[in-house]
Amino acid sequence: MSFVELSHTADVRIRVRAPTLDVLFSDAFSALMQTIFGTDRRGGMTRELQLEAADTETLLMDFLSEVLFISEVDGLVFASATVVTDGKSLTAVLDGESFDRSRHSGGTEVKGISYSGLAVTRDENGYMLDILFDV
């Protein structure tokens, strides 16, 4: 995982660096899950997602928002995601487990993913993402 939490006055601001878009999306997913549930997350139950969007930023927003929705509605905590994307379509296999209050309550509630400050950039080292989680 290649993400760090940056200083922000009210929300959780994350910066992700990755060599490919697949890894960028997967690491953004990991940052979201770690923010909400901490690091004690295991696999065993899988979910598959397929999404399409007009651009990379919208696809990323849709992906993370869908993960957040599934997690909240179905009571699932995901440990990992295998993501394949071209920036406009995405297939992801999420691996996780049922929420366990004794292990998963140490994080911060994320209410949504913000478009504010959202930026995906590319340079000679790969991709970088700045994103805000509304808490």
- Which domains, and CATH codes, for the chain? 3-134 (3.55.10.10)
pLDDT at residue 106 is higher than 80? no
- Tokens 């909400």 belong to 36
- Could you tell me which of 108, 100, 90 has the C-alpha nearest to residue 31? 108
DSSP 74-111: HTEEEEEEEEEE-SSEEEEEEEEEE--HHHH-SS----
pLDDT of residue 39: 87
pLDDT at residue 51 is higher than 60? yes
pLDDT at residue 34 is higher than 80? yes
- Tokens 């950039």 belong to 121
